[in-house]
Amino acid sequence: MPAEGKISQMVERQARKPAFPGIALSIYRRDDGFALDTSAGNLATNQPFFIASATKLYITAILLQLAEAGRISLDDPLASHMPADELQGLHRLKGQDYSHALTIRHLMAHTSGLPDYFQQKTNGQSLLGRLQSGEDVGWSYEDALRWTKAMPAKFAPGSGQKAFYSDSNYQILGRIIERVEGSDMARILKRRIFEPLGLSKTYLYTDAADLTPCILNYKAAPLEIRKAMASFGPDGGIVSTAPEMMVFLRGFFGGKLFEPAALQGLYDWRKVMFPLQYGSGMMLFATPWFFSPFNKQPDLLGHSGLSGAFMFFAPKTGVYLTGTVNQIAKPGAPFQLMLQAMAAL
């Protein structure tokens, strides 16, 4: 059976499982131009969905553009771009304030040591836990900053090979970009990325009354948390489709958004959550042997999201994969889907 049939059948099988009511997948192979857009269940190929933390790769692209234009340096201290009252007390560890030691690159690479306003618990409950229980809450940048300041930091900025994945980092990076550009993030993304790439269904979700993106799923139930999704902004608020994510991903690694040489400065990997490593603004998925014991797959560069969204590129084989399994409760599912698709190729 041709690869197209094998992959489409695999997606259909996965979508018949209760945990995956809808799956969308786009594949492109650089060497021979093989391309496939497929979907199953309650997701159509061009159905917009929440890409969650895959948004961070778009923020990385903008930071590289600004650095290329000489408007920022990735090694700028945050003090160059944040008001003193906003920066003060941001990073506190064992009675010492390290806030002035923080740089843009620390935030990009999650080597800042900043706590995570979203997944860490305060008063016995995390914001993530509240959302998973079905409570829909919204917040502002100021809220996220205040919650971050209320928690102790994990380690001093840039400590050895330490990294801690924190959504607080990208909330702050988003505000820095807005200040440099003198505009809001939705307009910046549209002008710098969406319009140049011809993306008509990709946008930053800011209106909880917008019912365009398909509803999220947590375990066997739909999860209606549109207030929250409208609050993530630069750390997880983009809506897109699998084919349009593909256009962005190929543009990111193909030199359409910034000079390709800039990518080399991002490949400084540190462990964040098994089996993922993090560089400056992107993930590395090095396939564990037990994921594919008889057919070792190449390393993948890109980003995933808690929503089940994924966008990765395999430099060794020239294969790009984008899409979603639209399931919050199974973070490993997107990677298993990508491995199965690559095996079918």
Taking only the tens place, the pLDDT of each residue in 281-320 is: 999 999 876 666 667 789 999 999 999 999 999 999 999 9
Asked whether residue 191 is domain-assigned, the answer is no
Same domain, 229 and 310: yes
Q: Can you give the pLDDT at residue 291?
A: 64
Give the C-alpha separation, 173 to 121, whole Å: 22
Query: Is 81 in the same domain as 44?
Result: no
Q: Which residue range is the domain that position 110 belongs to?
A: 58-185
- pLDDT tens digits along 211-263: 999 999 999 899 999 999 999 999 999 999 999 999 999 999 999 999 999 99
pLDDT, tens digit, for every residue of 123-163? 788 999 999 999 999 999 999 999 999 999 999 999 999 99
**320: CB partners within 8 A, 6+ apart:** 26, 27, 28, 29, 30, 246, 249, 250, 253, 312, 313, 314
Please, what sign has the CA dihedral across residues 226, 230, 235, 241?
positive
Residue 308 lies in a domain: yes
Q: Are residues 164 and 63 in the same domain?
A: yes
Scanning the structure block, which residue is given the tokens 């400084």? 268
CB 112 within 8 A of CB 202: no
Residue where a domain stops, chosen among 156, 185, 214 = 185
Q: Which of 136, 156, 185 is the last residue of a domain?
A: 185
CATH number at residue 172: 3.40.710.10
In a domain, 72, yes or no: yes
Say if residues 249 and 302 touch (Cβ distance below 8 Å): yes
What is this structure's pTM? 0.97
Per the structure, the count of domains in the chain is 2
Asked whether the beta carbons of 153 and 95 are under 8 A apart, the reply is no
